[in-house]
Amino acid sequence: MKGMKDIDKLLKEAETGKTSSVLERITDEATPFWSGIEDMVVSGKKPRPYVVSRLLRDEYDIKISETAIRNHFRNMLEHAK
């Protein structure tokens, strides 16, 4: 056994799938900005991952790589189909 596990987290993952590590890093303060970015992606607009990464770092002190953001956007679009 690998040690104690957070059962609630495991149950949630079993129900909804693995939670994106990107989403786990978004703070309450950054949530309105992030929700707006996700709305842009779903509506077909293409925010630049580098700029989103920079804004998160500079404005909210959240470090998420450009690649992680790009992958998150791609996954969002795949699941929206």
pLDDT digits (tens, 9 = 90+) for 34-50: 999 999 999 999 999 99
Closest by alpha carbon to 71, among 19, 13, 22, 34?
22
Buried b (16+ CB within 10 A) or exposed e, 9-20: eeeeeeeeeeee
Domain ranges of the chain: 20-80
Question: What pLDDT does residue 1 have?
Answer: 46
Residues in the chain with pLDDT < 70?
Answer: 1-4, 16-19, 81
- Which pTM value belongs to this model? 0.75
